[in-house]
Amino acid sequence: QKEVEQNSGPLSVPEGAIASLNCTYSDRGSQSFFWYRQYSGKSPELIMSIYSNGDKEDGRFTAQLNKASQYVSLLIRDSQPSDSATYLCAVIGTASKLTFGTGTRLQVTL
């Protein structure tokens, strides 16, 4: 079992729709959770961090964390073509290392 699992996609959503990206993790002691966006050929950039159960909103982005279910999600409202990228879920577990999933490729279509 991979430590951080994501569906590789591609996830295709029309412009203006909500994109929902999901991630599960195996280390129950994990405390810190991150979503990074990576455009093709570029380096990852942080979108959201979340540490407590519940929702955290920042502009069009909402991160959701459920530690009991070991589940993290990212919602992107009013999706734009510029949101088309790979979204990486990352977790700091008990080994104190940032562990990434393989990423979900999002395509926002016109």
Partner 1 sequence: GAGVSQSPRYKVAKRGQDVALRCDPISGHVSLFWYQQALGQGPEFLTYFQNEAQLDKSGLPSDRFFAERPEGSVSTLKIQRTQQEDSAVYLCASSGPQLTDTQYFGPGTRLTVL
Task: Answer whether 103's CB lies under 8 Å from 76's CB.
Answer: no
> Between 18 and 53, whose beta carbon lies closer to partner 1?
53
Task: Answer whether 79's CB lies under 8 Å from 15's CB.
Answer: yes
- Among positions 25, 73, 83, 101, the unique one binding partner 1 when judged by CB under 8 A: 101
For partner 1 (CB under 8 A), the number of binding residues is 23
Distance CA 15, CA 17 (A): 6
Kindly indicate which of the ranges 13-21, 45-53, 55-63, 73-81 contains the residues binding partner 1, using the contact rule CB under 8 A: 45-53
| CA angle in degrees (0–180, nearest 5) for 107-99-53 | 80
- Positions in 18-37 near partner 1 (CB under 8 A): 31-32, 34
Task: Answer whether 30's CB lies under 8 Å from 97's CB.
Answer: no
37, β-bridge pairs: 45, 87
> Between 57 and 78, whose beta carbon lies closer to partner 1?
57
Residues that bind partner 1 (CB under 8 A): 4, 8, 31-32, 34, 42-46, 49, 51, 88, 90, 92, 96-103
